Amino acid sequence: MKKKIFASIISALALFVVTFPALAQQQRQVLRKGQKKVISKIPKEVFPLYNGTFVGVDLYGIGSKAFGGDFLNSEVSVDVNLKNRFFPVVELGYGKVDKDNNNISYKSSAPYFRIGMDYNLMFKKKNLSHMYIGARYGFTALSYDVKSAGLDDDIYSGQVPFEYTGEKTTAHWMELVGGIRAEVFKNVLMGWSLRYKAKISVKDNVNSTPWYIPGFGENKSSNFGITYSLIYKLPL
C-alpha cells in the first residue's frame, strides 16, 4: 500500500515538474515597442507566470544524526516560482529513529511527504534571495517496534514481557513555515526555515502508541522543526 501511495506521489510530481514549465513558457509575452502607453502604467518589474523550478536537499537532519542525535532525517524538495510570489512545493523525505530510554527500546523508519505553498515577502525584487512564509500538509504511513524489559504485574506479581514489532499506523499534520533563501553562487542558494508543526491525527494501536513520527517528530500535539537546505534553480 505504501509503495503504491508514494509511487503515485512521485509520478504526479514528475508530471508536474516536466509539463508545467513547458506550458508556462507558452504564456510568456514580450511587450512590443508600440505599447509605450500601457508600459507607463505597469510597475517597474512585471514577472511572467513561470520563473523557474527549484530542487533542494535538506542537510540539517543528516548533520544532526552525524553529531550524535537520535533521529536521522533526510528530504528533498521541489518548488516552482509563479509570478515571483507563489511557490507551490512538494517535499519527499525519509525519517528513522533507534532509541533506548529507561529500558524501553523504540525503532521506526518510514518515508513521508508534505505538500504546500510559500509566499515570497520580497516579490518586488528580481533577485533570487528572498524571505517567505508558507504552510504544509504532511502525511506518513509507518511501522515501528517497541520493546521493554517487562512491566510489573500487580495481580500475579512479577513482570510481564512487553514487545510489539511491526506495528503499523498513519499520521497527518500541518505546518506553518517561515524562512530565508540566499543566493551564494549563480543559481545556487542556501535556505533556512523554522517550522511549527501541529498534529492533526495519529492512529493508535491496541497495545501501543508510536513515539516518533517521521517528518513530524515526537508524538506530541505540536513540535518545532528546522531545515537547512542546499537549493539549485534549474535552467529555464
The dihedral sign for the CA sequence 45, 49, 55, 56 = positive
CB atoms within 10 A of CB 139: 17
Provide the pLDDT for residue 226.
93
Mean pLDDT value across residues 50-78: 85
Provide the pLDDT for residue 190.
97
Percent of the chain residues topping a pLDDT of 90: 56
Q: Which has the higher per-residue pLDDT, 159 or 81?
A: 81
Q: Which has the higher per-residue pLDDT, 207 or 68?
A: 207
CB atoms within 10 A of CB 4: 8
- Predicted TM-score (pTM) of this structure: 0.77
Provide the pLDDT for residue 219.
93
Whether the per-residue pLDDT at 69 is higher than 90: the answer is no
What's the chain's average pLDDT? 82
Q: What is the pLDDT of residues 166-222, one digit of tens each?
A: 899 999 999 999 999 999 999 999 999 999 999 999 988 887 889 999 999 999 999
Provide the pLDDT for residue 31.
39
Whether the per-residue pLDDT at 36 is higher than 80: the answer is no
- Residue with cell string 516579490: 123
CATH of the domain at 191: 2.40.160.20
Q: In Å, how far are 84, 189, 193, 206 from 185, measured between CA atoms? A: 19, 7, 20, 53
- pLDDT level of residue 152 (50, 70, 90 thresholds): low
Provide the pLDDT for residue 174.
98
Whether the per-residue pLDDT at 14 is higher than 50: the answer is no
Q: In Å, how far are 2, 166, 170 from 110, measured between CA atoms? A: 9, 12, 10
Dist. CA 90–CA 138, nearest whole Å: 10
Which domain does 88 fall in, by range?
2-233
Whether the per-residue pLDDT at 164 is higher than 60: the answer is yes
Overall domain count for the chain:
1
Q: Which has the higher per-residue pLDDT, 232 or 203?
A: 232
Dist. CA 227–CA 232, nearest whole Å: 16
CB burial of 186-214 (b: ≥16 within 10 Å; e: otherwise) equals eeebbbebebebebeebeeeeebebbbbb
| Cβ atoms of 145 and 116 closer than 8 Å | no
Q: What is the pLDDT of residues 90-131, one digit of tens each?
A: 999 999 998 887 778 889 999 999 999 999 999 999 889 999
HSE-CB for 23 with a 13 A CA cutoff: 8
| Cβ atoms of 75 and 56 closer than 8 Å | no
Q: What is the pLDDT of residues 103-112, one digit of tens each?
A: 788 899 999 9
- pLDDT level of residue 45 (50, 70, 90 thresholds): low
